[in-house]
Structure 1
């Protein structure tokens, strides 16, 4: 799993995947999930909800134009 804007770890003792954003956040944000797919879904959700206009937009997301391309 390649996520350039996240520090991703597998916590053996907890048997969970864990991610911390690598961009400035107003408050701490750490995410965990049982599976890689679940972790990625939560990371996309966090990226979307944390994108304030003109502030701290994470890199690596797919750019979409007005006509959807």
Structure 2
């Protein structure tokens, strides 16, 4: 009988909790790498996958990555 282990449950739970709050991203935790990952869901200029050791760092990278694409999508109307 093989005993199943639950590796890094806190980190995996943190990624699962953040994922629903970020509809433009899929967020998960890599057990082998022990890093958090975010994959963009919008039509970015190029495929966008971010990774970070800490969840706070990943959030920061996500906000930085969104800026160029959001500003290029912005449409200005003269009033």
Is the TM value for this pair above 0.5? yes
RMSD: 1.5
Tell me, which stretches of 5 or more residues in structure 2 are unaligned? Answer: 1-17
What residue in structure 2 maps to residue 49 of structure 1? 68
Tell me, which stretches of 5 or more residues in structure 1 are unaligned? Answer: 56-69
What residue in structure 2 maps to residue 30 of structure 1? 49
Q: How many residues align?
A: 55
User: 1:24 deviation in Å?
Assistant: 1.0
Contact 2:25–2:39 (Cα < 8 Å) also in 1: yes
Larger Rg: 2
Contact 2:45–2:69 (Cα < 8 Å) also in 1: no
TM-score by length of 2: 0.63
| Bigger RCO (CA 8 Å, 6+ sep) | 1
Question: Which consecutive segments of 4 or more residues in structure 1 shift more than 6 A?
Answer: none
